[in-house]
Structure 1
Amino acid sequence: MTRAKNPPAEEPIVERIEDVDVATEMQGSFLEYAYSVIYSRALPDARDGLKPVQRRILFGMNEMGLRPDRGHVKSSRVVGEVMGKYHPHGDTAIYDTLVRMAQAFTLRVPLVDGHGNFGSLDDGPAASRYTEARLTAAAIAMNDGLDEDVVDFVPNYDNQFMQPAVLPAAYPNLLVNGASGIAVGMATNMAPHNLIEVVAAARHLIAHPDATLDDLMEFVPAPDLPSGGTIVGLAGIRDAYATGRGSFKTRAKVSIESITARKTGLVVTELPYLVGPEKVIEKIKDGVNSKKISGISDVTDLTDRMNGLRLVIGIKTGFSPDAVLEQLYRLTPLEDSFNINNVALVNGGPQTLGLRELLQVYVEHRISVVTRRSQYRLARRQERLHLVEGLLIAILDIDEVIQVIRSSDDTAAARTRLMEVFDLSLVQTDYILELQLRRLTKFSRIELEAERDKLRAEIHELETLLASRHRIEALVSDELAEIAEKYGTPRRTLLTDARPIATGAAAKRAAAILELADVPCRVFLSVTGRIARVDLAATENGAPTITVPTRRSKHDAILSTLETSTRSEIGAVTNLGRLIRFTPVDVPMLPPTSVQLGAGVRIGDYLSLPNRDEKVLAIVSLDSDRSIALGTKQGVVKRVATGAYPNKPEFEVIGLKAGDEVVGAVQGDEGDELVFVASDAQLLHFPAANVRPQGCPAGGMAGVKLTAGAHAIHFTSLPADRLEQTVVVTIAASNETLLGVDTGSAKVSEFSEFPGKGRATGGVRAQRFLKGEDALHLAWVGPSPALAVGADGTARQLPDSGAKRDASGQPLEAHVAAIGTRIE
């Protein structure tokens, strides 16, 4: 049994404690951290407009060969490549930057071509494993020339790879795409600009080094935002271009459109920079709920990938769309501010730069790039010319060259003897020794001589270029022009000097005029179903008036007229016995001097009638003390009691029996005369006082006694004081012919020719049928003169008035679809 050796004694630990001033240590550490954030993370370089992570992504993708003419690769692969070789930070920061460079709503000229869900203004992107990416053509232009020693390369974080300190940047990327970032004690926020405008300003600065800011702003008047919109006011922009700091306001592009025939809305197609539709909708809803915003009925987001942004804001009836829009500009992100703070790295340090300084830094960078590129190309061509000249010497005396090589003991001896015999350099000699025999043809000699001449010409051109800064500047300018032509797009953001939005007390005063004024108006409904209004202006004696057209036009035969005001509630009575409430404020307005109902809107579209067979027969006032008289196809009459209307958007004013419908509706007084005309040419009129007013659900009472097979085709109410000016128009035809084929015969008689009868009687004959006629197809009773129209609204000629009540009609030249009265 052996004993274990004694373990060696442990060496004593020597403590080393140094006293350090905490304030000094904190100051030094903070400055190192601040410099790292400023230089290596947050601020862009003024030359290529890129932060280090952006530059490393573009360089890494370029090294991976992710060009526009090749397929996309997984974004996670790009993130891993960049993180492993160049950017020693988290993958989240790299992917977020990659996504931003692919978003067309963020950059004016995107640098990454993304495939997949790269997010929107309201939603984030999909994970990197679900998306794919490659470089855009504009990004290739940013990398163009890296293989020609145009910029300095620096080691990566672990000294294993080299990366560019700055990209060649074929266009002013910092101005074109802008930048944003927060460093320690400073921040940058730069707006995007239009590539064509920025290039034009840079070229002007190259040609005129003493150009002033006003000269440059002739080319770059303001930023050009990817989302478009409108810039309001330019004073803050000039301050930013002069000092590097300023602000401006952007507004959404909004148009006032008819959403439906009855409803007006604000349609938003462009939003301020980096403002999403969901943010706007949320602010509008908050404002409506808190009673700060009024006049809005609903907000609908119709945005899609095919048609782009479309945000529809419905306006309540009676509110001015312009006033509501002004309110939205003041209280929602439809108007937003952008604060410019042009801070970028110049020679490794942060500086605040104006427009001229930004352009100057970029121009100097491009001059340096073009100069180094030309020097590189000159050196390569000189090297190649040196080899070609040596090869030509060898070919001219190839037999002796071969003899020297064969008689030499080894390669070193052959190299030395060739240099001595033919006065060649070491590089030329090595090239000749590696020469392939197939190059020793006559054709190869001709090719070499042509190459020599070409190289000499290119060398001369490059030397001439490098000898003149003016030529280099001209080349830089020409290359910029090519870039602008290739990648430039028209300006998207409009510029305006619109007045600022009112705030404070002015804003409160503005809120009071959101609703439209309640002015007197006259609403017209044509027999062809078109509705329009005329706002009435007061004359010197206070009576409202309009100008009656001297010549007839389409659709000008009137079925119903109502004197009201723009904000009063009125009703439309249909043939199905319904009354639909609406206000005429949204009805198309016609000038009082040219009332042509063809410019109106179809009332069926305006009221959005669900049933195509439902027709509006009259427009009535709901505030009047006059009752609504209705007559139905089955001869029922009813007067609706005033004040009995339900407080509903639409309701029934008569309880119709199966198969029945309303043929006429008129608002009148108890002293009026009610008139029925039946298809068997019988006319009955009796006092309205004989019909007791009833509530809306009631079904009415017997109005006219109809013979077998007959039905009422017309009903109206006539004021007692206008019976002398009233005419009766009847048109007879055959039931066996198609509608519109047989024009029929018409008769116009004075209403005084027809004696009154009691309610629920058969009346008197209104027209004698000619041979082949068996029914009245159309009848109308109203003030003279009567106006007849065709199905398309064009005027038709009627016979002269004065025929006996039971006389036969006169043949018509064209089919008559409806009859009405003239505009008064």
Structure 2
Amino acid sequence: NIPTHNLGEVIDACFAYLDNPAITVDELMEYVPGPDFPTGGVLLGREGIRQAYLTGRGTVILRARTEIEERPNNREAIIVTEVPYQVNKARMIERISEVVNLKLIEGIQALRDESDRRGIRIVIELKAGVEHRVLLNQLYRHTQMQVSFGINMLALDGGRPETLSLDRIVRAFTAFREEVVARRTRHDLGKARERAHVLIGLAVAVANIDEIIRVIRQAGDPAEARANLLARAWPAADTEPLLALLGTPGGALEDGGYRLSDAQARAILDLRLHRLTGLERRKIAEELEEVAERIRGYLEILGSREKLLAVIREELQSVRDRFADERRSTFTDDEIDPDEEDLIQREDMVVTVSQGGNIRRVQLSTYRAQKRGGKGRAGMSTRYEDAVSQVIIAHTHTPLLFFSASGIVYKLKVHRLPRTGPQGRGVKMQQVIEALPAGERITAVMAMPDDEESWQDLSVMFATRNGNVRRNTLADFINIPRRGKIAMKLDEDDVLVGVKPCGPGDHILLATRQGKALRFP
């Protein structure tokens, strides 16, 4: 399962290896940064690619390429222009429709396929106010707009199947090309020598044309003529310098003459008369010189590894010039598995807490402004013995701090609270905060400010039933484990009754049941 790569990048890596056979995988990745799929897409991160190139096995995450278009009425549209490799576009669109119908993704207004011969164009129109980043993360999680591609670089090396790293693959390929070019050169050399062998015979015949014709005319049949040509040595002064270079088999020098081989004799007998003209005789000489030059070149390649590698470079460069194109798959350093918060739409909420320990959240837009004479609407349904104790306006990503009567603090984000309609009662705190012991109650709920930079400057003021107070820095409550954290140690008969955030310029006002108050900065 070897992924596709960019041709130009792979050839550049081969050139780098030929220049430096000790090159490392990290150095090769400067030329081959990762797979390049024909359908494009966006590759997430590089660690999975590096692991695959180092060990031969790994996984890469591939996403669809998207663009964001602004639409009227504060709306946006996600435009998908490239789908991941081996993902069926129609099946992907069908899956998007399924997750919308199953309510796994909310916020999609319309879905259209506008693809044509010019390319892919899938339009996902969003509802007003929906953040495209959040919805994209949801699409990546629930559909084939994000897929994983398992890399297993299994290949035959020396006839044996092996899982190869990137440097070993480049090394094996260049060694294979070296073997192919050498074998091809030896084959071409053999063919050239066979042709030169025939041409030398023709050259000898042309140099002794009158005697050759006489021998042929005196023969009774072609077999006798061939035997007579082979029986004697022919003057070969002009061709003698070429014989050592060409190394032609069959023919041999003998007492200053040249004995023809059977193949040469047959070629002479098959020679047509028009080849005996001056022009044709020059063509034979020119072809012989051309073949001799080719043979010299083949011998130089086989006799020098540098020249052999130069041939490999030249051929690879020719392929690169003809077929290499720009990279289609690009890289991004986005998180592969986004936080759950990135999948939650940022919405303003009304968090309602009752004295009986119930809590719920309602979308703020539910409480529309009413004109004069309006009757209002119920904010929360409660039992006859219960009442609303706190109302907090926050968005879905706001952290909430829950302080128990025993001084333990818990942390939860608004989107984790149960969402109900305006008439809903909510659920008990124990159902929301799993670590809250049975019988323990929450006495205060506080929303963290949106400006995280201000957390270092703000404080939290605690007050207990026995009149004890304490101030802590708000930053002390940024990291809270799931089991909770001690916010304030209390006496056995004391209970935490109130918690409020405050700044350096604020004043604290404590009031008693008897109507008395105490104020201090």
2:23 equivalent among 190, 211, 230: 211
SS at match of 2:35: coil
In structure 2, the residue matched to 1:288 is 100
Q: Does 1:230 align with 2:66?
A: no
* 2:302 paired with 1:466: yes
Distance 2:303 2:93 in 1: 62
Give 1:303's aligned residue: 115
Q: Does 1:625 align with 2:371?
A: yes
Q: Give per-residue Cα distances to partners, 1:348-368, cap 9 Å, x unaligned.
A: 432111112222222222112
Instruction: Quote the residue 2:334 is aligned against.
Output: 498
Asked whether 1:448 is paired with 2:284, we answer yes
Partner of 1:386: 197
Q: Provide structure 2 residue ranges, at least 5 long, that are not aligned to the other structure.
A: 235-258, 350-363, 376-521
Would you say the 8 A contact 1:296–1:313 is kept in 2? yes
Instruction: Tell me the amino acid that sits aligned with residue 112 of structure 2.
Output: T
Aligned to 1:364: 175
Aligned residues of 2:39 and 2:84 also touching (Cα < 8 A) = yes
CA shift for structure 1 position 307: 2.7
Contact 1:329 1:501 in 2 (8 A): no
In structure 2, give the amino acid aligned to 1:277.
K
Q: How far 1:240 sits from its partner (Å)?
A: 0.6
The corresponding residue for 1:256 is 68
Q: Please report how far the alpha carbon of residue 517 of structure 1 lies from its aligned counterpart in structure 2 after TM superposition.
A: 5.2
* 1:389-442 Cα deviation digits (max 9, x unpaired): 211121122111111111223323222222214222221111101110111101
1:202 aligns with 2:20: no
Partners in 2 of 1:392 and 1:360 — Cα distance? 47
Q: Could you say what the CA RMSD is over the residues aligned between the two structures, in angstroms?
A: 2.6
CA contact (8 A) 2:137 2:343 kept: no
Q: Structure 1 vs Structure 2: percent identity of aligned residues?
A: 37
Per chain length, whose mean CA-contact separation is higher, i.e. which structure has more relative contact order (CA < 8 Å, sep 6+)? 2
TM-score between the two structures when normalised by the length of structure 2: 0.61
1:246–1:440: structure 2 CA closer, same or farther, 3 Å change rule? same
Q: Secondary structure at the match of 2:279?
A: helix
Secondary structure at the residue paired with 1:268? strand
> Which structure 1 residue ranges, 5 or more long, are not aligned?
1-188, 519-566, 570-621, 627-640, 644-824
Aligned to 1:477: 313
Tell me the CA shift for residue 206 of structure 1. Answer: 2.2
CA distance in 1, matches of 2:277, 2:343: 93
Q: CA deviation at 1:624?
A: 5.5
Contact 1:320–1:516, Cα closer than 8 Å, also in 2 = no
Equivalent residues in 2 for 1:384-533 (5 A)? Answer: 384-419=195-230, 420-422=232-234, 423-502=259-338, 506-507=339-340, 509-512=341-344, 514-516=345-347
- Spell out, residue by residue over 1:504-543, the C-alpha distance to the aligned partner (whole angstroms, 9 max, x if none): xx41x3444x14559xxxxxxxxxxxxxxxxxxxxxxxxx
Give SS of 2:119's match: coil
Q: Deviations over 1:580-629 (max 9, x none)?
A: xxxxxxxxxxxxxxxxxxxxxxxxxxxxxxxxxxxxxxxxxx84527xxx
Deviation at residue 286 of structure 1 after TM alignment: 2.8
Aligned to 1:376: 187
Q: How far is the alpha carbon of 1:262 from its aligned partner?
A: 5.4
**C-alpha distance in 2 between matches for 1:346 and 1:319:** 54
Residue 282 of structure 1 deviates from its aligned partner by: 2.8
Q: Does 1:350 align with 2:166?
A: no
Please give the secondary structure, in 2, of the residue aligned with 1:206.
Answer: helix
Amino acid across the alignment from 2:336: P
Q: Is the 8 A contact 2:199 2:288 kept in 1?
A: yes
Q: Structure 2: how far apart are the matches of 1:388 and 1:284? A: 73
Query: How many angstroms does 1:501 deviate by?
Result: 2.4
Q: SS of the counterpart of 2:32?
A: coil
- Secondary structure, counterpart of 1:254 in structure 2: strand
Could you tell me whether the CA contact under 8 Å between 1:277 and 1:301 is conserved in 2? no
- Encode CA deviations 1:651-702: one digit per residue, 9 max, x unaligned: xxxxxxxxxxxxxxxxxxxxxxxxxxxxxxxxxxxxxxxxxxxxxxxxxxxx
**For residues 307 and 406 of structure 1, what CA distance do their matches in structure 2 show?**
75
For this pair of structures, how many residues does the alignment match?
339
Is 2:4–2:38's contact at 8 Å kept on the other side of the alignment? Answer: yes
CA contact (8 A) 1:318 1:515 kept: no
Query: 3-state SS of the aligned residue for 2:60?
Result: strand
Offset from partner CA, 1:267-300 (integer Å, 9 cap, x none): 1111111112323223323322333212222221
Question: How far apart are the structure 1 equivalents of 2:336 and 2:208?
Answer: 86
Q: Secondary structure of the equivalent of 1:292? A: coil
How far apart, in 2, do the equivalents of 1:221 and 1:281 lie? 31
Equivalent residue runs for 1:30-69 within 5 Å: none
Q: Distance in 1 between matches of 2:183 and 2:156?
A: 22
Structure in which a larger fraction of residues adopt helix: 2
Does the C-alpha gap of structure 1 residues 494 and 511 become closer, same or farther in structure 2, counting only changes over 3 Å? closer
Cα displacement (A) at 1:257: 0.7
CA contact (8 A) 1:319 1:516 kept: no
CA separation in 2, counterparts of 1:424 and 1:510? 87
8 Å CA contact 1:265–1:315 kept in 2: the answer is yes
Task: Summarize the Cα distance change of 1:281–1:421 in structure 2 as closer, same or farther, 3 Å threshold.
Answer: closer
For residue 399 of structure 1, what is the amino acid of its counterpart? Answer: D
Q: 1:391–1:428: 8 Å Cα contact kept in structure 2?
A: yes
Task: Give 1:197 shift.
Answer: 0.4
Give how far 1:477 is off: 1.5
CA displacement, residues 47-104 of structure 1 (integer Å, 9 cap, x when unaligned): xxxxxxxxxxxxxxxxxxxxxxxxxxxxxxxxxxxxxxxxxxxxxxxxxxxxxxxxxx
Q: Is the 8 A contact 1:193 1:223 kept in 2?
A: yes
Measured in 1, the distance between the counterparts of 2:69 and 2:176 equals: 50
Alignment match, 1:24: none
Partner residue of 1:276? 88
Give the TM-score normalised by structure 1: 0.39
Q: Distance in 1 between matches of 2:334 and 2:69?
A: 21
- State how far apart, in whole Å, the 1-side matches of 2:105 and 2:10 are: 40
- Contact kept? 2:57, 2:151, Cα under 8 Å: yes
Counterpart-to-counterpart distance in 2, 1:431 and 1:336:
67
Q: Deviation digits for residues 734-773 of structure 1, max 9, x if unmatched? A: xxxxxxxxxxxxxxxxxxxxxxxxxxxxxxxxxxxxxxxx
Distance 1:257 1:517, change over 3 A: farther
C-alpha contact (below 8 Å) 2:153/2:164 kept by paired residues: yes
C-alpha separation between the residues in 2 aligned to 1:386 and 1:344?
42
Superposed, 1:162-177 pairs within 5 Å as: none
CA apart distance, 1:443: 0.8
SS at 2:151's partner residue? strand
Separation in 1 of the partners of 2:371 and 2:213?
126
- Verify the 8 A CA contact 2:73 2:128 in the aligned structure 1: no
What are the superposed Cα offsets for residues 166-194 of structure 1, whole Å, 9 maximum, x if unpaired? xxxxxxxxxxxxxxxxxxxxxxx111100
Q: Amino acid of the residue matched to residue 474 of structure 1?
A: A
> Is the CA contact 2:61–2:336 (under 8 Å) kept in the aligned structure 1?
no
* Helix, strand or coil at the partner of 2:77: strand
